[in-house]
Structure 1
């Protein structure tokens, strides 16, 4: 029940602009059209009171009411309308289109209603038709009834159009069209609808869920955005637990398509691992569109590609990367971009290179930020060298078909898929997470110095366990 309610709330938030747009456009357009373009039509009414002789007032009224249907039809009879139409220079059909009758409930009164763009003409026509009917009934029918004509009142406000009322109807139509559009788009929408769907669709777990961030949040450091920071810490915790169960060192971060946030997650995950005391080498393995050198603001003259372009003896010592502001985190950039990265990654040098990373002792993790899986072959080639892979999924846009294809591509490489990192989540569960984190931040905290693990390079600064800092350049960019 809670899950269903949360989904409806999410749908309302996601599609509220469509409903509002439909209401405003249809309602506003209807109002302007009826107000400015449609000619006003006035309706005047002349009432005819029917009385009959009888033994009592009640019998007279009952007899008059019984004859109302007959008189209603006679009012629009051509013999009644013809003299009036001739006096006003119009055809009988034109006049007939303006006239209608109305009978009161249980009252011997007939209303002769006439619509016209001129209120004076409407009142005049209504009165003349009532007189013509009275003359015709008395002369040609020999009616025993008495007809008393109540003069019409010249209308002041038009009967049609009614801009406000018509605008409300237009707004309701706009609301209906908006709902129809939402239903159609939701029906054809191929995105994930809930985190639990990852396991059902792929058979693997969601390691973390990172919410969609506002533009203001994306401009901040990761640690200044609690939801992002905790999402990365949860990912690091899951990675550490998986390594305790089945040790590994080489970790690839990839995604099905470009723009899903894999580089940001790789950078933040490496930073948080390093701040927890792990020795981490972050490698920019995207030899077509590298971004980590800009992310960490380091030089990119030499990097991973140099291992293929220069003698091994010359570059082996440079594969430890460049230092960062976090002592236990180093960055190996992509280096000079080659023209044939796929061929280089399949060469014998590639096997030697990744064996070097696997056997290197000074790092606990070597994390590779790879290209996306589906557009190019590079990531699938890299995955064959990796011990574990984390698949980043943009929950706000990536289709299920693309996610399944990415999983199938990874299965063919033989890499162990550790799980999925759901990025840019629009699901409402993070409202509760945000409230919890805000409540934690309001409580006083003690500064604790984290102990240095054995066999770890010396760290020159203490780490605040309750308020860890990320590199100033490591922005929370999606």
Structure 2
């Protein structure tokens, strides 16, 4: 691939998850008995979309440290974007050392994932774009685990992938689920490729010093703020 090419994000979805299945997977939905989680992610979605000003954009979600809920926030932000029937969301699992989104969304990455594409084992971006049980939400799974992930993420092929997703459709938002800031330099690399970044902190878990240190990794002009996960 010598240059990025726009692609279609119109994919035929499998059977959609039931309300019970969504709850089991901790994915927000329109008809939750307790609407507060869905409302919180709607608010985050609205803030990000306002910053985009109608332009296609890529948003990175990364936690201060592992187990603070970065993947949970990334998945539910994408799901909240997909609430709107006029929009679509593409969720990209960039946590190449410990991917979880394919399991949470019950996606069998039979054609490969992000790693396979970045290593050139899969040529077409469309082949690693999978529909999910959440309407209008598509997933690019991580694929094969890789400890040495920095070179793959900081590559021309990764840049072309994001440019293709940006150019696919003005109604399509891209959310990157990045690794924790404390676990590798990958979050910093991804923040330089994304248009916006969101930092996730475990409520009552991170110190003020740890938050400041993690936030310093990101360009302050692109950092949208901090989301506190597991707030009582």
TM-score, with normalisation over the residues of structure 1?
Answer: 0.40
- Counterpart for residue 224 of structure 2: 418
Shift of the alpha carbon at 1:219?
A: 7.5
Q: Distance in 1 between matches of 2:120 and 2:221?
A: 28
Shift of the alpha carbon at 1:415?
A: 6.4
- Which 4+ stretches in 1 moved above 6 angstroms? 217-220
1:326-382 superposed Cα distances (whole Å, 9 cap, x missing partner):
332111110112342112122332232222223222752011000011221111111
**CA 1:330–1:415 in 2, change beyond 3 Å: closer, same or farther?**
farther
Shift of the alpha carbon at 1:242?
A: 2.1
Q: In the alignment, does 2:46 pair up with 1:237?
A: yes
Q: Distance in 2 between matches of 1:366 and 1:283?
A: 7
Q: Distance in 1 between matches of 2:24 and 2:105?
A: 15
Residue 135 of structure 2 aligns to a residue whose secondary structure is: coil
Rg larger in 1 or in 2?
A: 1
Q: How does 1:51-90 map to 2 (within 5 A)?
A: none
2:197 to 365, 383, 389: 389
1:353 to 161, 173, 195: 161
Residue 224 of structure 1 aligns to a residue whose secondary structure is: coil
Q: How does 1:249-260 map to 2 (within 5 A)?
A: 249-260=57-68
Q: In the alignment, does 2:208 pair up with 1:405?
A: no
1:306 to 96, 116, 122: 116
- Counterpart for residue 96 of structure 2: 287
Q: How does 1:38-187 map to 2 (within 5 A)?
A: none
Shift of the alpha carbon at 1:234?
A: 1.4
Contact persistence 1:252–1:367 (CA under 8 A): yes
Shift of the alpha carbon at 1:258?
A: 0.8
Is the deviation greater in 331-340 or in 303-312? 303-312
Q: Distance in 1 between matches of 2:27 and 2:115?
A: 29
Shift of the alpha carbon at 1:416?
A: 0.6
Q: In the alignment, does 2:176 pair up with 1:368?
A: yes
Shift of the alpha carbon at 1:248?
A: 4.5
Shift of the alpha carbon at 1:220?
A: 6.2
Shift of the alpha carbon at 1:221?
A: 5.5
Residue 422 of structure 1 aligns to a residue whose secondary structure is: strand
Residue 275 of structure 1 aligns to a residue whose secondary structure is: coil
Contact persistence 1:393–1:420 (CA under 8 A): yes
Q: Distance in 1 between matches of 2:217 and 2:155?
A: 20
Q: Distance in 1 between matches of 2:189 and 2:62?
A: 12
Greater relative contact order (CA < 8 Å, ≥ 6 in sequence): 2
Q: In the alignment, does 2:83 pair up with 1:275?
A: yes
- Counterpart for residue 330 of structure 1: 138
Contact persistence 1:383–1:415 (CA under 8 A): no
Q: Distance in 2 between matches of 1:356 and 1:374?
A: 29
**CA 1:219–1:352 in 2, change beyond 3 Å: closer, same or farther?**
closer
Q: Distance in 2 between matches of 1:380 and 1:248?
A: 21
**CA 1:420–1:310 in 2, change beyond 3 Å: closer, same or farther?**
same
**CA 1:348–1:238 in 2, change beyond 3 Å: closer, same or farther?**
closer
TM-score, with normalisation over the residues of structure 2?
Answer: 0.79
Q: Distance in 1 between matches of 2:143 and 2:26?
A: 27
1:391-445 superposed Cα distances (whole Å, 9 cap, x missing partner):
112122111111101111113xx7611122121224xxxxxxxxxxxxxxxxxxx
Greater fraction helix: 1
Contact persistence 2:64–2:214 (CA under 8 A): yes
Q: Distance in 1 between matches of 2:154 and 2:143?
A: 18
Q: Distance in 2 between matches of 1:374 and 1:350?
A: 22
Shift of the alpha carbon at 1:296?
A: 0.7
Give ranges in structure 1 of 5+ residues lacking alignment. 1-216, 427-478
